A and B are shown apart, each in its own frame.
Chain A
Amino acid sequence: MIEVKSLYKKYGSIDAVNGISFKVNRGEILGFLGPNGAGKSTTMKMITGFVRPSSGTILVEGQDVQEHPVGIKEKIGYLPENGPVYGEMTVQEFLRFIAEIRGFRDPMEKEEKIDRVCDLCRLNSVRHQSIETLSKGFKQRVGFAQAVLHDPPVLIMDEPTDGLDPNQKKEVRKIIKAMAQDKAIILSTHILEEVGALCSRVIIIAKGALIADESPESLLERNRRFNALRIQVDGVDNKTVRNALRDLPEVSAVTLNDNYFEIFPKNKRAIEALVLKTLRDNNWLITHFEKAPVGLDEVFWELTA
């Protein structure tokens, strides 16, 4: 669907994007992660044809973005950062304008398309309000409606949930997920929880270069604490416990933090059963036992810092 091959973008002497290549297939939701200024937005702008690459090729459904700019734009739905919209228009006027420019001239077809996205994005209650009077959540949904009006096979969204409250975020994610099956979707975000909740694949970009391209699950496995355990034991001195655990063949290290033992497995394999058995065999009283919480935060930090 989308194929990006060794993409470069220079602004003067600054390399905004430095040789990025990746593919996105139908049915995938690709999450773009990276610190601010890493080149996420620039890459998306190049795919949509808004910014011209310094070199490299972008194919959308096999067509080159540079050679068929208008043809490609028909296939792409794009929600730019901060969801810019013409504030002085009403939601309906704005969506009509988009529909007409997208080539839906037949009044029946046009209204049908607008009705569909108003239902999808729950805009019916504000259809006749001018956009500048709407709340940020509604504005964002108008931008979103505009992007999916023509039911595009490719959807590109730059921080679609930025600035929304938790309920609105959930709402927008639900809409995105609902449309995912038959589209190739790229979205950028700096909210890590969103990646786990939404994306089937993650690309991490830092300083214009691609440093990871994998599923959120395998990205989690890169966490130092993946499959590590946090336990607390009563009635026995720390040294005894530590030594007993450290001697286990599957354990690589045991540390003591704030009265909690952290047990790290070798090769990040699961060790719950083994550790539990050891503690039971010694008849120690277990007051706390959990898998160490792992997030993408640490992984992200380690990869991009």
Chain B
Amino acid sequence: MKQIVPLFKREFLGYFRSPIAYVFLIVFLVVSAGLTFYLGRFFESRVASLETFFNLQPWIYTFFIAAVGMRLWSEERRSGTWELLLTLPIRTWEAVLGKFLAGWAFIALGIALTFPLLLTVAYLGNPDWGPLWTGYMGSMLMAGSFLAVCSFTSAITKNQVISFVISVVINLGLVFLGWSVFTELMSFLPLSWVDGLSNFSYTTHFVSFTRGLIVFKDLIFFLSLTFFSLLLTVIVLEH
């Protein structure tokens, strides 16, 4: 367990060894804020909440987290360093967890840097703080699940592009299942089926967080999706 600390440190600082990290953070913030203001009509809604911001997050995460997560293992596989890493006295699950936590921390930093939006709603109106905090909490949890899926897809290939594409497909699928457009499209199916399908969606489980509710089954959804994706990563790496 102690071995996770140096690995986490190396991985987390590793993001800042290249300019990509800064580019990523800036683009992420610009896109998050930009979409909230323009697509989400933040001002026109005249509501002091971040609901539009949160609603857009699953879509943004699909691409941005795939960009962070695509290199987690595929880069190590391509350069052969995974052989070095996995022959150090560290268990595979520790290595998987260490890398995942570092990536998650990096994304959490990106999410935390959206705080000017919080300040904006606080300045413009008198927001209900409950949904804001639970929204951020749910957002972090959801980001973890997105990243864990990327961890798995990056473990199955040496090629970062393939890893990116597969994780986008999987994560987009998991976003789609809960999207109203999709559920309407599926309305020819029995309602219970549609409900069942949308139960596998990020959006379905995220929405209560944005309304100020922490629902146990939503917590379980994100945590178990993260857990199983990481478990699959371990299994893939150990063959």
Contacts and interface: CB of A to CB of B under 8 A. Distances in A.
| Nearest 10 interchain pairs by C-beta | A100-B6, A84-B80, A73-B89, A80-B83, A74-B89, A84-B81, A48-B87, A88-B17, A78-B87, A97-B10
The CB with the most chain B CB atoms within 10 A, among A50, A71, A81, A82, is that of A50
Contact of A80 (B17, B80, B238): B80
Contact of A52 (B6, B83, B89, B239): B239
B187 interface: no
Interface residues of B, number: 23
A10 interface: no
Interface in B5-24: 5-7, 9-10, 14, 17-18
Interface of B: 2-3, 5-7, 9-10, 14, 17-18, 79-81, 83-84, 86-91, 238-239
A85 interface: yes
Contacts of A49: 87
A80 B79 CA distance: 11
Contacts of B239: 52
B175 to A, nearest CB: 32
Contact of A84 (B7, B10, B18, B83): B83
Interface of A: 45, 48-50, 52, 69-71, 73-74, 76, 78, 80-82, 84-89, 97-98, 100-103, 105, 146
Contacts of B9: 97, 100
A84 B239 CA distance: 21
B17 A89 contact: yes
Contact of A101 (B6, B80, B83): B6
A88 B81 CA distance: 12
B86 A50 contact: yes
A110 B21 CA distance: 29
A84 B79 contact: yes
A103 B2 contact: yes
Nearest to A100: B6
Contacts of A88: 14, 17-18
A2 B86 CA distance: 20
Given A84-B80, A84-B84, A100-B9, 18 more contacts: A45-B83, A48-B87, A50-B86, A50-B87, A52-B238, A73-B88, A73-B90, A74-B89, A76-B87, A80-B87, A85-B84, A97-B6, A101-B6, A101-B7, A101-B89, A102-B88, A103-B3, A146-B84
B81 A85 contact: yes
A28 B81 CA distance: 28
Given A52-B238, A103-B2, A70 B90 contact: yes
Contacts of B81: 84-86
B5 A100 contact: yes
B45 to A, nearest CB: 44
Contacts of A80: 80, 83-84, 87
A110 to B, nearest CB: 10
A80 B84 CA distance: 7
Contacts of B79: 84, 87
A100 B3 CA distance: 8
B88 A98 contact: yes
Contacts of A73: 87-90
A105 B2 CA distance: 10
Contact of B83 (A50, A100, A103): A50
Contacts of A70: 89-91
A76 B83 CA distance: 13
A50 B2 CA distance: 21
30 contacts: A45-B83, A48-B87, A50-B83, A70-B89, A71-B89, A73-B87, A73-B89, A74-B89, A78-B87, A80-B80, A80-B87, A84-B81, A84-B84, A85-B84, A86-B10, A86-B14, A86-B81, A87-B79, A89-B17, A97-B6, A97-B9, A100-B6, A100-B9, A101-B6, A101-B7, A101-B88, A101-B90, A103-B2, A105-B2, A146-B84
Given A52-B239, A88-B14, A103 B80 contact: no
A102 B83 CA distance: 15
The CB with the most chain A CB atoms within 10 A, among B2, B10, B14, B84, is that of B84
A49 B86 CA distance: 8
A89 B2 CA distance: 22
A235 to B, nearest CB: 64
A82 B7 CA distance: 22
Contacts of A50: 83, 86-87
A87 B10 CA distance: 13
Contacts of B6: 97, 100-101
Contacts of A71: 89
Contacts of A98: 88
A45 B80 CA distance: 13
B77 to A, nearest CB: 10
A73 B5 CA distance: 18
